[in-house]
């Protein structure tokens, strides 16, 4: 399946990633943005085509990808779907889906085929192999689901299908927004220490700090939206505050029994992961691999 791909927001980090991905697969790629000069410059660097407007980019496209900030995506879907040809495919790649699936459902009424995609990786991913995508159906289009699944699976990616936006946002609240939040909190608490914590890092902090530092190397605009636009995460924040207080009380009250119970109960959940048992070994392997790479 090759053809024409248009990427709205193609000047951005993920837009460029998808432009390169589809170009390397043999598709004719055109990117579009709000500023034609900036778009043309990026297109030249990537070796793809550029369009002066969204409408021009999408009119002959077989696949249109909307890779714009979360808060702008629903409106852009509504705007561009009017210019797309009947039967062509449209998907977004936003990290939070509330409102976006509704926009895709409306867009479908004009005869285009829509689905929602969430790549669970950032632009740093060199290859698609072993990376994960979440797909969310929009209405019943089993064939489109199969087409998009095959497109990415053929390159070695793993696909998970989630039925609706609310479930997606709930899962993402736990798997993306929560780790970001905890890393932000850790980084912020460390920044209040009156010593350089990285100089004293043992194994746990060495690995953890790598995650924390990588979060702070990211784009604060995207990260703020992952926290602020996901109302499922706001529900989780209430649980997080209660759990923090509970654990703090256990510790401050010297409640050893309570501590052991919490440890045991949590371990029961975590040990459902088949690789739980060798997590300690993997931690050291990961550290050694990173140290080796850093030496090179």
Ligand X SMILES: NC(=O)c1ccc[n+]([C@@H]2O[C@H](COP(=O)([O-])OP(=O)(O)OC[C@H]3O[C@@H](n4cnc5c(N)ncnc54)[C@H](OP(=O)(O)O)[C@@H]3O)[C@@H](O)[C@H]2O)c1
Site for ligand X in 235-294 (CB under 6 A): none
Shortest distance (Å) from residue 96 CB to ligand X: 7
CA dihedral 116, 121, 126, 132 (to 10 degrees): -70
**Given phi > 0 = left and psi -120 to 50 = alpha, else beta, which region is 130?**
left
Interface pick for ligand X out of 6, 93, 151, 177 (rule CB under 6 A): 93
Complex with ligand X: residue 38 or 234, whichever CB lies closer: 38
Complex with ligand X: residue 11 or 88, whichever CB lies closer: 11
Binding track over 200-219 against ligand X, x by CB under 6 A:
-------------------x
Which residues are CB-neighbours of 280 under 8 A, at least 6 positions away? Answer: none
Residue listed under structure tokens 């500023």: 35
Interface pick for ligand X out of 13, 59, 98, 131 (rule CB under 6 A): 13
Complex with ligand X: residue 36 or 258, whichever CB lies closer: 36
Interface pick for ligand X out of 4, 12, 63, 135 (rule CB under 6 A): 12
Interface pick for ligand X out of 88, 119, 148, 162 (rule CB under 6 A): 119
Q: Any contact of residue 39 with ligand X (CB under 6 A)? A: yes
Please give the C-alpha separations between residue 201 and each of 15, 180, 209, 210, 213, in angstroms, as whole numbers.
37, 20, 8, 11, 13
Terminal Cα-to-Cα distance of the chain (whole angstroms)? 40
Interface pick for ligand X out of 1, 34, 203, 242 (rule CB under 6 A): 34
- Residues near ligand X (CB under 6 A): 9, 11-15, 33-35, 38-39, 67-70, 72-73, 93-95, 119, 122-123, 219, 222
């Amino acid at each position: 399946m090759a053809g024409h791909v248009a990427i709205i927001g193609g000047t951005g980090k993920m837009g460029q990633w998808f432009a390169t991905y589809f170009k390397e697969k043999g598709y004719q790629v055109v990117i579009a943005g709000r500023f034609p000069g900036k778009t043309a410059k990026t297109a030249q660097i990537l070796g793809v085509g550029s369009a002066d407007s969204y409408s021009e980019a999408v009119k002959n496209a077989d696949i249109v990808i909307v890779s714009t900030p979360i808060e702008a995506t629903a409106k852009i879907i509504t705007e561009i779907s009017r210019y797309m040809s009947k039967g062509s495919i449209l998907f977004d790649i936003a990290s939070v889906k509330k409102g976006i699936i509704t926009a895709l459902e409306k867009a479908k009424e004009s005869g285009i085929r829509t689905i929602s995609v969430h790549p669970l990786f950032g632009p740093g991913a060199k290859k698609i192999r072993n990376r994960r995508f979440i797909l969310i159906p929009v209405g019943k289009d089993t064939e489109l689901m199969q087409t998009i699944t095959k497109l990415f699976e053929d390159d070695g990616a793993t696909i998970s299908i989630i039925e609706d936006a609310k479930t997606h946002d709930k899962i993402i609240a736990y798997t993306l927004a929560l780790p970001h939040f905890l890393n932000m909190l850790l980084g912020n608490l460390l920044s209040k220490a009156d010593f350089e914590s990285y100089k004293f890092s043992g194994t746990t902090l060495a690995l953890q700090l790598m995650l924390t530092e990588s979060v702070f190397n990211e784009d604060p605009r995207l990260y703020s939206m992952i926290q602020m636009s996901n109302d499922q995460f706001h529900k989780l924040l209430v649980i997080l505050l209660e759990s923090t207080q509970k654990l703090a009380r256990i510790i401050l009250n010297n409640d050893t029994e309570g501590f052991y119970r919490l440890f045991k109960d949590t371990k029961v959940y975590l040990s459902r992961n088949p690789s739980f048992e060798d997590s300690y070994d993997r931690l050291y392997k990961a550290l050694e691999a990173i140290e080796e790479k850093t030496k090179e």
